[in-house]
């Protein structure tokens, strides 16, 4: 395989080849686009049986994608399942599962995720992080794609107790460089880098620490993470292709709760002032 082929994702290869495939290989390709994780889980004969094609068709299809063997393609798919698209977590056998069973399976997985995540985070860690947030000169929350929603959520929770400048960056039409220039001693940057973040975040995190800011990084167990003063990993395993973020929101809740407790009376007074403002503006039901 050439370096270009090695870098190309499995899904990208299938999509590129699909228009030129004969009918039987097209059926196989469409199946694997729906459930690419099956390639890393099943032998070639099992894939052939699932899709109703011959073993020879599977072999021709794999070679057409640029792989020397089925095992090579399976290793590539497995690597992407570890740190790439959540599509690789979906399985064909999940289709048609009764709703009650699906709900039960997801509940068990969410419970396991919470147990694993909370078991790796100590009360002392939360206290230290809370004190750093309270004592910060300014807070910046960074996240791209889904991570921006998580960053905005934690900032909103902390906004109830903290009254120093804070914002989710970058805003529309802005760049991270415009904010990097503002960072210095006393600042805290909170980075969300769960599957799949962008490379720029790691570089911004490095620059932030270089300029004296402290860094809290929240990510999952499969994703790479920048060097940080505090690194918290959450379990996001799920029975299907969509990550389960129950443990992430619990972690955000614990960080916010610990921060409010550490704030003491000033924090409670700040919350009371917010409620007074709500009443004066008559903006809430």
- Digit-coded pLDDT (tens) for 107-128: 888 898 899 899 989 999 999 9
- CA 244, distance to chain mean position in Å, is 10
What is the rounded radius of gyration, in angstroms, for the C-alpha atoms of the chain? 23
Q: Is 185 exposed, middle or buried (0-12, 13-18, 19+ CB in 10 A)?
A: exposed
Sheet holding 230-234, edge to edge: 166-169, 139-142, 188-192, 214-220, 230-234
Q: Which pLDDT value is given to residue 276?
A: 75
Question: Which tops the pLDDT comparison, 34 or 184?
Answer: 184
Sheet strands (E) in the chain: 139-142, 166-169, 188-192, 214-220, 230-234
> Closest Cα to residue 108, out of 221, 220, 234, 239?
239
Q: What is the pLDDT of residue 10?
A: 79
CB distance 123 to 100 below 8 Å: no
Query: What pLDDT, on the 0 to 100 scale, is given for residue 92?
Result: 47
169-173, 249-253, 264-268, 270-274: range with highest mean pLDDT: 249-253
- For residues 137 and 187, the answer to whether their CB atoms sit within 8 Å is yes
- Statement: residue 100 has pLDDT above 50: yes
Phi-psi region of 186 (alpha: psi -120 to 50; beta: other; left: phi over 0): left
Q: What CATH class is the domain 3-94?
A: mainly alpha
What would the mean pLDDT of 149-163 be, rounded to a whole number? Answer: 90
pLDDT range class, residue 98, cuts 50, 70, 90: low
C-beta of residue 221 within 8 angstroms of C-beta of residue 96: no
- Residues 116-281, CATH architecture: 3-Layer(aba) Sandwich (3.40)
Strand partners, 168: 141
**Looking at residue 192, what DSSP letter applies?**
E
d(C-alpha 254, C-alpha 107), whole Å: 20
Q: Per-residue pLDDT for 231 more than 90?
A: yes
Question: 109 near 239, Cβ under 8 Å?
Answer: yes
**30-61 pLDDT tens trace:** 887 766 666 666 788 888 888 889 999 999 99
For 204-227, write each residue's pLDDT tens digit: 999 999 999 999 999 988 778 889
Judge whether residue 101 has pLDDT over 80.
no
Mean pLDDT of 66-71: 90
Q: Is the pLDDT of residue 250 over 90?
A: yes
- Parse the chain into domains and list their residue ranges: 3-94, 116-281
pLDDT for residue 149 is more than 70:
yes
Percentage of the residues of the chain whose pLDDT score is greater than 70: 83
Averaged pLDDT of the chain: 83
């Amino acid at each position: 395989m050439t370096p270009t082929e090695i870098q190309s994702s499995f899904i990208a290869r299938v999509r590129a080849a699909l228009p030129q495939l004969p009918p039987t290989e097209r059926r196989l390709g469409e199946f694997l686009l729906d459930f690419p994780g099956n390639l890393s889980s099943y032998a070639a004969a099992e894939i052939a049986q699932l899709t109703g094609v011959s073993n020879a068709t599977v072999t021709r299809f794999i070679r057409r994608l640029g792989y020397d063997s089925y095992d090579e393609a399976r290793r590539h798919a497995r690597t992407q399942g570890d740190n790439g698209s959540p599509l690789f977590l979906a399985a064909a056998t999940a289709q048609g599962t009764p709703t009650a069973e699906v709900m039960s399976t997801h509940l068990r997985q969410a419970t396991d995720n919470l147990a694993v995540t909370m078991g790796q985070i100590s009360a002392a860690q939360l206290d230290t992080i809370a004190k750093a947030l309270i004592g910060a000169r300014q807070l910046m929350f960074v996240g791209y794609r889904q991570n921006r929603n998580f960053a905005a959520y934690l900032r909103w929770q902390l906004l109830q107790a903290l009254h120093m400048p804070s914002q989710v960056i970058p805003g529309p039409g802005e760049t991270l460089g415009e904010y990097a220039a503002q960072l210095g001693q006393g600042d805290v940057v909170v980075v969300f880098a769960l599957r799949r973040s962008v490379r720029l975040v790691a570089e911004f995190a490095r620059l932030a620490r270089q300029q004296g800011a402290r860094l809290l990084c929240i990510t999952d167990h499969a994703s790479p993470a920048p060097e940080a003063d505090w690194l918290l990993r959450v379990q996001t395993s799920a029975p299907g292709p969509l990550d389960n973020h129950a443990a992430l929101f619990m972690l955000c809740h614990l960080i916010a709760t610990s921060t409010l407790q550490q704030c003491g009376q000033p924090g409670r007074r700040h919350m009371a002032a917010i409620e007074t403002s709500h009443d004066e503006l008559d903006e809430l039901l």
